[in-house]
Structure 1
Amino acid sequence: MRDVKAVQQELRDQGVKYVFGFYVDVHGVPKSKCVPLESLPSMASGSELYTVGAMEGMGELGPHEDECEGRPDLDRLIVLPWDGRFAVAPTELHLHGRPYEQDSRNALVRQVAAARELGFTANVGIEPEFYVIRETADGWKPLVASDADNGPTRGYDLEATLLAEPFLGPMVEYMNQLGWGVYSFDHEGGDGQYEFNFDYADALTMADRMVVFRLMAKHVARELGCIATFMPKPFQDDFGSAAHINVSLADAISGANLFAENDEPGRYSDLARHFTAGVLAHAGAISAVVSPTVNSYKRFTSKGFMEEISWAPVYQAYGENNRTLMCRLPVNRHCIEVRTADSAVNYYLGMAMVLGAGLDGIRRELDPGEPLNQDTYRLSAEELEKLGAKSLPSSLGAALDAFETDSVAAEVFGPEFHRTFLSYGRQEVHEYGAVVTDWETRKYLRMI
């Protein structure tokens, strides 16, 4: 780790006054105390303590028990480009001198280390989608009011993208100031829905960046009188928001992409196939982690109340360019794209679970079979069964059932965190099941 005094002086020269050493709760929401720059040396030595039992899904450390110690990673510190008075540093929580098991980032640290032991560096790219909307007397409306005028979708629409420049422009500027390498951005299919594409990074760096990305999007939207929402399916008649996780393994020494077969486009190595098979073998448990809310499963439909198909993954299989499936092995880059991940994902846990499953497939040399390159939305149940395409979990409860008995999930999370995550998810399912919705009232109140 860099010398703390040198970091402190560098930040002082940049005008930084305060530092956050953040960790995240089970939802991936960052938590931290704010430390004046003068106190950075004590913070770096672990002076900041946290009663994480009060946080969402981080265990049950009670008021009578010891607190967790935060140890910031100053090598990964980021100065916020929209307010240079503040810097943030990802922080690992420790309890009694050991990494706290129920800290999401520690789960990813363990899987990154497991990959390193096998000689791999895990690289990840994310394709985040989300809505920017404003609250009006008539309900939630898109950032650009005219989005709703051109049905059924303004996806990729040039004019709609230009009109959203007050949001998109600052986002791209801030991301590039941080060196993230934005290479495209667009108006997605939903009214007020956007996506950014930027350079991949090692798994830990990317997970840390996505925490800052969400903060950034919320800030820029707020400046325009809007909110940026990462709810997976905010509107029943519009597109859901995904956050595809693109993973590849590189040689830890040379950096060469080990998923590529002779660097030929569209040709994948046996290692990539084993990794893919591992992800598919643990698809149910992965779903519980990368699609972590009851709302997530409203996204997994071919159409629903929408005017056109959703492009959402609904089957436990892989294809080359088949977007109806859980996994894709793209022909224009060498990685596995996990399409079930949505905008609510805790990136530390989502990446950890995908990486753990893929490494299990490598260790056991699993075979994913042949790719499925047909439009599964148009196939009958009999045709799907013949092709071996199983349905993904259709609810959070079903996904948690798979998570509960999955050995890799238990290993990735550790026994205590595994129980906590399961219990927290079960409680959400229970609460959701007890809610009487407007749809039920409209349908049944007078009918029966």
Structure 2
Amino acid sequence: MEAKPLAIPATLDDCARIARENGVHTVECFFVDTWGMPRGKMLPIEQFLTGSGFCIARVAYSWDTRSDIHPTPWAQLDSEFPDMHAVPDLDTFRVAGWTEGLATVMCDMEDPKTHERIAMDARGRVKETLKEFEALGYTVKLATELEFHLFTSDWKPISDKSYCYSLDRAEELEPVVGAIRAALTASGITVEASNIEYGQSQVEINLKYGDAITMLDNTILFRHIVRQVARQHGYNATFMAKPINGGAGSGMHVHQSLCDLDGNNVFAAQDTSDPVHSDVMRRYLSGLVHNQLALQAIAMPTINDYKRIVDYSFSPTQVCWGLDNRMVGVRCITNAGPGTRLEVRWAAADANPYLVAQGYLQAGLYGLRNDLPLQPMSGGDPHADTSLRRIAHSLEESVTNFSCSPFSKEAFGSIFVDTYTAMQRTELAAFAAHVTDWEFNRYHDIL
């Protein structure tokens, strides 16, 4: 089975050959909406090989998580809801490792008349940002670590205790977790390791680093494969940040480094008297720290994500950075030679990987282009340091920070910022109007 993405540049003839050799009859064509959910259409292989792509309503970029439509700057109710055109990126064509007869491909979204990139298409925007790095002489390497929770088929936790790193527990879950790893591998995604995580019913799978777009595509496919294979084995999987009261949250840790055009890691040691070692790494880091509050609404896009922000839970709660410290927002992994990197620990596991990467990369560029002061390194326990700024502890606060930041408009464009803000304010209004189980149980029989 030839599952890995095709060598660049791929052609329809390449896709036809691989489909024929692997019995592919259907192609699952992906784009990713603003929430990070995979959307698209299933095309018979014969239709896919015409190369025409497909059209889909552009309102898909601004509806809510349940596909309800609300007015936004991107799609007003009197806008007639026109189409956008999905153009398969043939370099991403691969045989699916979890379902027979299926292949997948990522799509670039464009205006059907002008053929320009759709302003809300985060994947396309990341591609443009990577060209900015190339103009400075750099390529970007990324890796993602995502945690998720496993539930029974009727959404009950599979455990009420924590078994972090337990191999006994890992073997119990190997029928499903091993099947997930196998499906990832068969789909051309290299797995480094899996383990039982800190939370009850929680698992983590680490993917091997690679070039930025490939890794972001793999992250989307990873979440899709986890959900599909879990269902095939009688489980449900969720990347919701905090699905269990009192339990550990699920995060998306993004490891990132820059290489020169010869492939040398420019974050690696140059000045060992400086804890960060590399001036390029220091400047990139300064941009991340400087813009953390503006990016929080992207890294933590749902109301539930803010339940994850708890001191001493390995979720960062302050604006800070440190060396190999899992309680800070940006963990600097130095003295690792070619593996020297920054691990940004802000994002929830349910965030849109393309938007998260776009924010981080633009923040890094901001640091490279500006002489920013870098606040002192946090050592030991950052939660005990009262001098550190606290991050926003509600979606409402973080959306305000995002919408008011000039950096946000530079990084994402005005139409995206205004639309994203409107989407989040609609989400907040829906939550505010809903009577929760907690409220009912708290008050109904005594007031």
Give the TM-score normalised by the residue count of structure 1. 0.89
Partners in 2 of 1:114 and 1:55 — Cα distance? 25
Q: Bigger CA drift: 337-346 or 60-69? A: 60-69
Find the counterpart in structure 1 of residue 288 from structure 2: 279
Counterpart contact for 2:53–2:88, Cα < 8 Å: no
**Which of 259, 269, 293 is 2:267 aligned to?**
259
Counterpart contact for 1:249–1:257, Cα < 8 Å: yes
Against the structure 1 CA distance between its residues 6 and 324, is the aligned structure 2 distance closer, same or farther, given a 3 Å change threshold? Answer: closer
Partners in 2 of 1:248 and 1:54 — Cα distance? 33
RMSD over equivalenced CA pairs, Å:
2.1
Matches within 5 A, 1:41-440: 41-42=49-50, 44=51, 46-57=52-63, 59-60=74-75, 64=80, 66-95=82-111, 96-136=114-154, 140-142=156-158, 147-148=159-160, 151=161, 153-251=162-260, 253-262=261-270, 267-302=276-311, 309-331=312-334, 332=336, 333-377=339-383, 379=384, 383-385=385-387, 389-440=388-439
Partners in 2 of 1:27 and 1:277 — Cα distance? 28
> Structure 1 residue 123: deviation in Å?
1.1
Partners in 2 of 1:112 and 1:3 — Cα distance? 23
The unaligned stretches of length 5 or more in structure 1 are: 303-308
Partners in 1 of 2:393 and 2:53 — Cα distance? 45
> Structure 1 residue 66: deviation in Å?
4.1
Counterpart contact for 1:266–1:330, Cα < 8 Å: no
* 1:18 partnered with 2:18: no
Q: Per-residue displacement from partner, 1:142-173 (whole Å, max 9, x unpaired)?
A: 1xxxx43xx4x210011110100011111121
> Structure 1 residue 266: deviation in Å?
6.8
Find the counterpart in structure 2 of residue 6 from structure 1: 14
**Which one-letter code corresponds to 2:107 in the other structure?**
T
Counterpart contact for 1:51–1:63, Cα < 8 Å: no
* 1:33 partnered with 2:46: no
> Structure 1 residue 390: deviation in Å?
0.7
> Structure 1 residue 369: deviation in Å?
3.1
Give the TM-score normalised by the residue count of structure 2. 0.89
Partners in 2 of 1:178 and 1:187 — Cα distance? 23
> Structure 1 residue 93: deviation in Å?
0.7
Kindly, what percent of the aligned residue pairs are identical? 28
The unaligned stretches of length 5 or more in structure 2 are: 1-8, 64-71
Against the structure 1 CA distance between its residues 64 and 328, is the aligned structure 2 distance closer, same or farther, given a 3 Å change threshold? Answer: same
> Structure 1 residue 267: deviation in Å?
4.8
> Structure 1 residue 292: deviation in Å?
0.6
Partners in 1 of 2:326 and 2:140 — Cα distance? 23
Q: Give the total of aligned pairs.
A: 423
Counterpart contact for 1:12–1:37, Cα < 8 Å: no
**Which one-letter code corresponds to 1:392 in the other structure?**
I
**SS in structure 2 of the partner of residue 431 of structure 1:** helix
Counterpart contact for 1:315–1:324, Cα < 8 Å: no
Partners in 1 of 2:289 and 2:177 — Cα distance? 35
Counterpart contact for 1:266–1:334, Cα < 8 Å: no
Partners in 2 of 1:66 and 1:52 — Cα distance? 6
